[in-house]
């Protein structure tokens, strides 16, 4: 079936411009909040829905989490392959248009694709060469673009993985500070106290900075949101929600001013959660289960009883806490449902060992009574 070369040339030029602009925005330009029409966004929407559908068919949580963990790195490889394949196809269409013929057949299209791929990857076999001046110019441009494309990607990957590594360091620190998975009850019980019965401002300021870093990196590189942590019971979203749960309890308990460190940490964490959610979820869907039921609140009070962070029993405290929860929980539940994360509980109903307390050789050289100690006995 003949294809008209003017149409192919216009289509090829359009594809080149779209891919170059998309790669430029994705790799080099710090992204702003919004849901603009971008090729990369549609790529992730399409591929994640397919991957997510397969993940939901896996019944075992550990197997499902392991399967989801492959998506982040694999999607990045697929995105780069998608860009490269698009440029190869686009330049093959431009090469056909450069010949000046009215129509081309499928055999010519296949040969043009081969020449374009050979040029893009700078193989230099020389078995197929352009016959026109415009074709030679396009080959030079494509070869230079292929070289620059891979050079840019090589510089892009270390930057993104450095941001991932920095994020995971703080998540690993949360294991001993708030349990596995982290909870607000453990975080408040284990954290050193500062003045006036409040948590240490220095520690809260560190989590404020971590929240700001999370906001910057996950807006600039949304792919990081799909990257899972090393342990299945840890995640960046669970850590962020634990910070919000803990600071909301502090603010509801003491009626702290907006200039206190707890309020500043709450603001930074909520800012990160809301803006990251906007990237992935477009509309609010009601109906998520209540995370802080009366029974859970009773367990929370029991675990914090006798500590400097003991919860008041008056209705005013519960009202303030409910108002604070409404400012972030809908976003957390929507994002968790989309990315298949499990939100952390407010308090564990039964004693649990932290990740750092377990090991495959413990039973051989650690007495059972000592190995089974709860983590809170060491804090």
| Per-position pLDDT tens, the chain of length 379 | 444 466 777 888 899 999 888 888 777 766 554 545 478 888 998 999 999 999 999 988 889 999 999 999 999 889 989 999 999 999 988 888 877 655 666 777 788 888 888 888 888 777 777 777 887 888 888 888 888 888 877 777 888 888 899 999 989 888 888 888 899 999 998 887 665 555 678 889 999 999 999 999 998 888 899 999 988 888 999 999 999 999 999 999 876 666 688 999 999 999 999 999 998 998 888 878 899 999 999 999 999 988 888 898 888 999 999 999 999 999 999 999 999 999 999 998 877 788 777 777 777 666 654 444 444 433 3
H or E segment at 23?
Answer: helix 5-27
User: Is 366 contained in some domain?
Assistant: no
Same domain, residue pair 76 and 213: no
User: Is 354 contained in some domain?
Assistant: no
Q: How many domains does the chain have?
A: 2
Please give the C-alpha separations between residue 206 and each of 160, 165, 211, 268, 269, in angstroms, as whole numbers.
22, 17, 9, 11, 12
Residue 62 dihedral angles phi and psi, to the nearest 5°: -65, -40
Same domain, residue pair 149 and 210: no
Same domain, residue pair 148 and 249: no
Same domain, residue pair 119 and 256: no
User: Is 70 contained in some domain?
Assistant: yes
Q: Does the model's pTM come out above 0.95? A: no
Query: Which domain, by its residues, includes 38?
Result: 3-155
Same domain, residue pair 20 and 129: yes
Please give the C-alpha separations between residue 267 and each of 144, 248, 277, 327, in angstroms, as whole numbers.
46, 10, 15, 10
Place of tokens 């991932």: 164
User: Is 236 contained in some domain?
Assistant: yes
Same domain, residue pair 134 and 26: yes
369 vs 366: CA distance, rounded Å: 8
User: Is 151 contained in some domain?
Assistant: yes
103 vs 8: CA distance, rounded Å: 10
Work out the end-to-end distance of the chain between its first and last CA atoms, rounded to an integer number of angstroms: 76
Same domain, residue pair 134 and 259: no
Same domain, residue pair 84 and 201: no
Please give the C-alpha separations between residue 231 and each of 68, 143, 167, 209, in angstroms, as whole numbers.
13, 43, 14, 23
Same domain, residue pair 185 and 333: yes
Closest by Cα among 177, 328, 348 to 266: 328
Same domain, residue pair 204 and 105: no
Same domain, residue pair 83 and 215: no
């Amino acid at each position: 079936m003949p294809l008209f070369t003017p149409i192919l040339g216009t289509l090829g030029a359009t594809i080149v411009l779209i891919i170059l602009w998309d790669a430029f925005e994705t790799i080099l330009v710090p992204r702003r909040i919004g849901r603009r029409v971008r090729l990369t966004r549609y790529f992730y929407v399409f591929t994640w829905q397919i991957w997510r559908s397969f993940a939901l068919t896996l019944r075992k949580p550990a197997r499902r989490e392991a399967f989801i963990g492959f998506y982040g790195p694999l999607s990045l490889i697929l995105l780069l392959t998608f860009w490269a394949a698009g440029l190869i196809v686009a330049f093959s269409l431009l090469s056909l248009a450069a010949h000046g013929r009215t129509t081309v057949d499928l055999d010519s299209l296949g040969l043009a694709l081969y020449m374009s791929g050979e040029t893009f990857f700078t193989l230099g076999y020389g078995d197929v060469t352009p016959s026109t001046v415009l074709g030679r110019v396009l080959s030079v441009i494509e070869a230079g673009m292929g070289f620059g494309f891979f050079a840019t990607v090589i510089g892009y990957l270390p930057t993104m993985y450095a941001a991932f590594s920095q994020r995971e360091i703080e998540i690993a620190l949360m294991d001993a500070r708030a349990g596995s998975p982290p909870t607000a009850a453990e975080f408040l019980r284990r954290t050193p106290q500062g003045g006036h019965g409040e948590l240490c401002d220095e520690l809260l300021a560190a989590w404020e900075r971590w929240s700001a870093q999370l906001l910057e990196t996950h807006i600039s590189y949304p792919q990081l949101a799909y990257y899972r942590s090393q342990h299945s019971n840890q995640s960046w979203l669970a850590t962020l929600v634990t910070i919000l749960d803990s600071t909301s309890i502090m603010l509801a308990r003491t009626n702290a001013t907006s200039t206190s460190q707890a309020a500043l940490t709450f603001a930074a964490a909520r800012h990160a959660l809301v803006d990251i959610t906007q990237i992935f979820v477009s509309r609010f869907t009601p109906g998520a289960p209540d995370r802080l039921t009366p029974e859970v609140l009773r367990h929370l009070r029991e675990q914090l009883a006798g500590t400097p962070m003991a919860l008041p029993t008056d209705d005013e405290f519960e009202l303030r806490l409910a108002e604070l929860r409404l400012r972030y929980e809908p976003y957390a539940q929507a994002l968790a449902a989309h990315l298949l994360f499990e939100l952390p509980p407010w308090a564990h109903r039964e004693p649990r060992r932290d990740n750092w307390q377990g090991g495959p050789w413990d039973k051989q050289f650690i007495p059972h009574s000592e190995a089974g100690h709860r983590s809170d006995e060491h804090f």
